[in-house]
A and B are shown apart, each in its own frame.
Chain A
Amino acid sequence: MEAAPSPGWLIARQSARFVLRERTVALLSLMFVVLVLVSAWLGWSATSTVNRIYLDAAAFLQAAGQPVPTNPVLDISPLSLMRNMSVYVALIGALSAIVIGNRLIGLDRKAGVLPLIGIRPLGRNSYAAGKIAALTGLILALGAVAGVVAVATFLMLPVITLTGTQWAQLAGFMAVTTLYMGIFGLIGLAAGTWAKSETVGLLLPVTLWLTLTFILPQLTANLNPTAAINPISALATPPDTSFFHGAAVVLGPVSLADAYKFASAALLDYLPQGIASPSFIPPVINLVLATGLAGAIAWRALTRLSMTQGEYNV
């Protein structure tokens, strides 16, 4: 006779299935996949255009008897073709993760099933572990889709071959990407659990995401919002003033969008020399610490959720 699945596993499986049925989750996940494909095309198109411009410019300079500089494309690592993916993960990937986290708890609360779950022989810890496991599984699936697209792009594009180290760097980038989405998923889960209103549960993490993506980079590096979503412009050196130095020390460790951009740029080989993340904590460690903190917040919110009511206020 087969052993009965653990309560945590049952919660995780049921929650993931319910969330996958949601049309909005499907819509945002589809947008994410489409944008990952677009990012691969953008990288290829932009690089090949620069290459063609160089060929035209070289012919022009030769005809004018001027020296021809080296092709800038040759200085670019093939991995940097994927640089736009870091932007789309920071935009749609993070938003998808927030929605997944929110729906994982929101569906139970809206359906009014919390009191029913509460009377089952199921500990709060099992419920929390099940929800976080479901979130982990769904975010890993999103990360895996992005990874498959990236790998397929490099295998299909002619002339491009990656070394073993570069494949490892790509794997590292996908891991960091999954971690970044996971942070927002956990925050979405915590806010959806804690909030009294469904809208507030969604708006709190979205406001945090807006702040991290568009406001903090301005304080740490004088980066305007549109520059913050350009993979190259986002890696600017901050002005050499005491204000920006102080802001980097205080806000650098919490500026997660900055940490993700710099970690991605380093792993995908497009980080210009002499430019470093504003935080004194290395970007990847920063993201790992943030994941731990977000996980602790989500755990606390889930284990303190009142099972006697739980439904959202209007």
Chain B
Amino acid sequence: MSDAALNSIRLNPTPVRTIAGKDIRDALRDRFILIVTAFLGLAALVALVTGAIALRSDVATYEAAKASLLALGKSADAIKAPEFYPLRLLRGAIEQIEIIGAAIAILIGYRSAASERGRQTLALMLTRPMRRWQFVAGKALAGIGLLAGGLALVLGGLTLLLHLMSGIGLGMDDLLRIAIVWAVAVAYTACFFLVSFILSLHMKQPSHALLVAFAIWLTLVLVAPQIGDTLDPDNQVAGGVFKQLNIAKPDQIQIMKGFATFETVRDGIEQASVTKHFERFTFAVLGIKATYAGMPLGPILIEMLGNLIWIFLTALGLGALALALPLNPDRLAKA
């Protein structure tokens, strides 16, 4: 390629936009994205509705118990009223994004790379006057854009439903929190998109790449957090070990000081997974974790900055890797 042509490419980002636009049009035309987004939306909707029904049942139980106490002439202070923070109802939906959203990102990454290989069009495209990084960047932008759109639809729908269902409506602060969660969810799912995209682009057989990507998904999304969760001593005994031993919170902390190494290992296993960082961040921002309920957004963001950095650095690192790895045209035919 001549210097003049290369300069023209450097100045004009059209190839990236063209490839991204074409990929988005292809994805929308074959309805794959719509189907997987509908699946994620259904999973999130089920989580929201079942959570709301369970909460309504808690409130009814509380009201019945309160009425019984008052009828007996006793004070209702003895029983704790169920707390209602509307955003907490998003817990199940966030967990579905954490698991199914990441799986969908893997599928989009696989399709993005495998489609050109399947149609034998990749080598042809690379004969066009463009840099190889532009081809990769266009594909990656399209995939992440589709994920962002799908997540916006799902979270937007849930927000609307929550606003109508909660009875008290959602304020600007709530909407801001959901918007932040959306942005972080895009970065989180982008990590899995990029893993699958890189593997599908570079492994000899794309179908093998898909399976390897699923193996990584299993390890990061399901196994690592599950190991950390299982090693939590409080999860070993129904109701919690300290509760069964009738030990107060300050004494629990004192006893657990002797298990500092164990807790460090347990936390380290959890921390190794980008999923746990996503969960910690979103649970804090939405007040799902009790200690953050009712807390202003600013201090939460400062406290959760480490998790945020981890998620974005993982996505950026994988993005840089996708751009840096040289494409081998001989490997880009249908396997």
8 A Cβ contacts from B178-221 to A = 207-208, 210-212, 214-215, 218-219
CA–CA, A24 to B43, complex, Å? 29
* A161 at interface, CB cutoff 8 A: no
Is there contact, CB below 8 Å, between B43 and A214?
A: yes
* A9 at interface, CB cutoff 8 A: no
Is there contact, CB below 8 Å, between A57 and B247?
A: yes
Contacts of B172 in A (CB 8 A): none
Is there contact, CB below 8 Å, between B92 and A225?
A: yes
Least distance between A34 CB and chain B CB atoms (Å): 10
CA–CA, A225 to B103, complex, Å? 14
CA–CA, A56 to B262, complex, Å? 15
CA–CA, A310 to B219, complex, Å? 34
Contact with B along A43-75 (1 / 0, CB 8 A): 001110110111011001100001001001000
* B174 at interface, CB cutoff 8 A: no
Number of interface residues of A (CB under 8 A): 58
CA–CA, A63 to B229, complex, Å? 31
Least distance between B82 CB and chain A CB atoms (Å): 12
Contacts of B95 in A (CB 8 A): 224-226
Is there contact, CB below 8 Å, between A28 and B98?
A: no
* A266 at interface, CB cutoff 8 A: no
Least distance between A80 CB and chain B CB atoms (Å): 9
CA–CA, A45 to B259, complex, Å? 13
8 A Cβ contacts from B20-36 to A = none
Least distance between B16 CB and chain A CB atoms (Å): 26
Which of B51, B56, B223 is A91 in contact with, Cβ under 8 Å?
B223
Question: From B251, which residue of chain A is reached at the shortest CB distance?
Answer: A60
* A99 at interface, CB cutoff 8 A: yes
* A171 at interface, CB cutoff 8 A: no
Contact with B along A30-51 (1 / 0, CB 8 A): 0100010010001001110110
Least distance between A18 CB and chain B CB atoms (Å): 15
Is there contact, CB below 8 Å, between A53 and B218?
A: no
Question: What's the count of A-B pairs with C-beta under 8 Å?
Answer: 154
Which of A28, A42, A198, A214 is B231 in contact with, Cβ under 8 Å?
A42
* A232 at interface, CB cutoff 8 A: yes
Is there contact, CB below 8 Å, between A54 and B215?
A: no
Is there contact, CB below 8 Å, between A53 and B233?
A: yes
Is there contact, CB below 8 Å, between B215 and A60?
A: no
Least distance between A295 CB and chain B CB atoms (Å): 24
Which interface class (under 10, 10 to 19, 20 to 34, 35 or more) fits B?
Answer: 35 or more
Contact with A along B219-251 (1 / 0, CB 8 A): 100110111011101011110011011110001
Contacts of A87 in B (CB 8 A): 226
Q: A53-B259, A243-B53 are in contact. Are A27 and B211 (CB under 8 A)?
A: yes
Which of A42, A45, A50 is B237 in contact with, Cβ under 8 Å?
A50
Which of B46, B235, B258, B334 is A218 in contact with, Cβ under 8 Å?
B46
8 A Cβ contacts from A146-187 to B = none
Q: A92-B218, A226-B225 are in contact. Are A56 and B92 (CB under 8 A)?
A: no
Is there contact, CB below 8 Å, between A218 and B47?
A: yes
Contacts of A244 in B (CB 8 A): 50, 53-54
CA–CA, A47 to B233, complex, Å? 8
Contacts of A308 in B (CB 8 A): none
26 A-B contact pairs sorted by A residue (CB < 8 Å) = A24-B208, A24-B211, A31-B219, A50-B236, A53-B255, A57-B242, A57-B245, A61-B245, A66-B246, A69-B245, A72-B245, A88-B223, A91-B222, A91-B223, A199-B210, A206-B214, A210-B103, A215-B43, A215-B96, A222-B51, A225-B92, A229-B226, A232-B236, A239-B58, A241-B53, A244-B53
- Closest 5 A-B residue pairs measured CB to CB? A314-B118, A24-B211, A225-B95, A239-B57, A239-B54
Residues of chain B touching chain A, judged by Cβ–Cβ distance below 8 Å, are 39, 42-43, 46-47, 50-51, 53-54, 56-58, 91-92, 95-96, 98-100, 103, 107, 110-111, 114, 118-119, 207-208, 210-212, 214-215, 218-219, 222-223, 225-227, 229-231, 233, 235-238, 241-242, 244-247, 251, 254-256, 258-259, 262, 279, 334
